Chain A
Amino acid sequence: MTCQEFQLHRAAYVDGELGVDETLAAEAHVGECPQCRDLAEQERRFRLLLRRQPRESAPPEFRARLLARCHQEARWRRRRAWLIAVTPMVAVAALLLALLMPGFRASPSLIPDLVAAHIAYAEIERPAEFASDDRAQVAAWFQDRAGLRVVVPDYTPAGIRLIGARIAEVRGRRAAYVLYEKGHALLSVFVVPAAEAEDRLAGRPVTYRGQAYVTEERKGYRAVAWTDGLAIFGLVSGLDYEALLECADRLRQARAGEA
């Protein structure tokens, strides 16, 4: 092997990626050429420098959270498999009910409307009508602007930043819309007055910290919604369910704290 040939193979030689024949040829060359030996040695030291960088481990609490999330996913899967088996029976029952009760007609769920609003605002450059990361200012703005008393929870411990507020229209009703951001992912919190009796939340029922929620995944976004008193609350984001449920729980706690 000539010096030139060795230079071509040097990186792979140091990485231990040459075939047997090439390795032997390279070793023979290094044995007789001090310059190439020196270069290979330098190259090896550079690899060692990179390989010896601090090897950080995943934080234990993250590991625990990840495991819990995987177990939750496994439970959902089992439940879904069961639901698929039961669904035809439920469909027959619903059909019978509809036939027996001419007035019975389920209205569409509110969640798709919230997801559609989220998508619409996620696409514009400055989604907040009133931009502020101050919770008191945002609450005051809702009060001034629409006479709405809105509790604005603090999600900063979860790395979720308040970016502002707007008044959104959902089913022709004025709804409070609080906007948060995690990285570049938008988190929408809607508060829709539940004036109409036909408001319905369809989706997968979930219990989190003893509270009941309805969840649904649509168009790549996840929604968590619930009814509380005279309002329907809906959180929509690309964030995972665990983050959304945690945010929902904090919002409930903040409301309970203010009441």
Chain B
Amino acid sequence: MQLVWGVGGDPTEEFESVALPHLDTLYRSALRLTHNRAEAEDVVQETYLRAFRSFHRFNPGTNARAWLFTILRNAFLNRLRHAKREVHEEEATGDDAAAESATLASEGDSPEDEFFHTVLHGDVDRALKTLPLVFREAVILTDLEGLTYRETSQVLGCPIGTVMSRLSRGRSLLRQALRRYAREHGYLRGRE
């Protein structure tokens, strides 16, 4: 915090050039995690302030995107912990989704999804909301924001193998939800 700031150019400018290019991707992900604009803005602002305060620990040339996502995730989880009610909600939806997927197990995991072209605007976000947080965050980072397995494992603080299994589970739950919506929209007939 002290002398490091004196080195090189203006630290604020340096920080902005490293961190600001990632604002949109962080904002989108925060929105998908919180489902609420005001909260997403709070989480992103907190992320930037925390990042700014610990910028002296950031190694130039290392992965700024993964670093920022890690801070964002911590800020989000912290808020969840503070708002205990919401954590319970998360756990509840986790149970629901698990129960739901058990009943749908017969539909299997195969990607033969002829209904993809019938997915309507907003369906993916709606389906994402039904995913338990551990799967949702893996899918958001890798599939929606395009992080590599390695980057995602860095952000989630778990091995790459775990990222892969969470992705697999998350994608499968997502497909099941989308298939359900397609059926609701009348594009897909119920199967026996």
Contacts and interface: CB of A to CB of B under 8 A. Distances in A.
B175 A238 contact: no
B12 A71 contact: yes
B124 A50 contact: yes
Contacts of B119: 49
Given A50-B139, A55-B24, A12 B164 contact: yes
B86 A46 contact: no
Contact of B49 (A15, A69, A81): A69
Interface in B109-130: 110-113, 116, 119, 121, 124-125
B11 A74 contact: yes
Interface stretch (A60-68, A110-118, A207-215, A225-233): A60-68
A51 B168 CA distance: 16
Contacts of B23: 58, 63, 66
Contact of A43 (B26, B44, B111): B111
Contacts, number: 104
Interface in B34-61: 36, 38-39, 41-42, 44-46, 48-49, 52-53
A12 B142 CA distance: 12
B112 A11 contact: no
Interface residues of A, number: 40
A17 B161 CA distance: 12
B164 A66 contact: no
A45 B164 contact: no
B148 interface: yes
Main secondary structure of the interface of A (DSSP, over half): helix
Interface in B69-121: 79, 82-83, 85-86, 110-113, 116, 119, 121
A206 interface: no
Report, as a range, how many residues of chain B touch the other chain. Answer: 35 or more
Contacts of A58: 23-24, 26-27, 44
A222 to B, nearest CB: 12
Contact of A53 (B79, B82, B124): B124
Nearest to B124: A53
Given A57-B24, A62-B27, A74-B11, 9 more contacts: A17-B148, A47-B143, A50-B174, A58-B44, A67-B20, A70-B15, A71-B12, A74-B52, A240-B46
| The 8 residue pairs across chains A and B that have the minimum distance between CB atoms | A184-B83, A58-B27, A42-B111, A50-B143, A159-B38, A74-B12, A57-B24, A43-B111
18 contacts: A11-B164, A11-B171, A39-B110, A50-B124, A56-B28, A57-B24, A57-B27, A58-B26, A58-B27, A62-B41, A69-B48, A70-B48, A77-B1, A183-B38, A183-B83, A184-B86, A239-B42, A240-B45
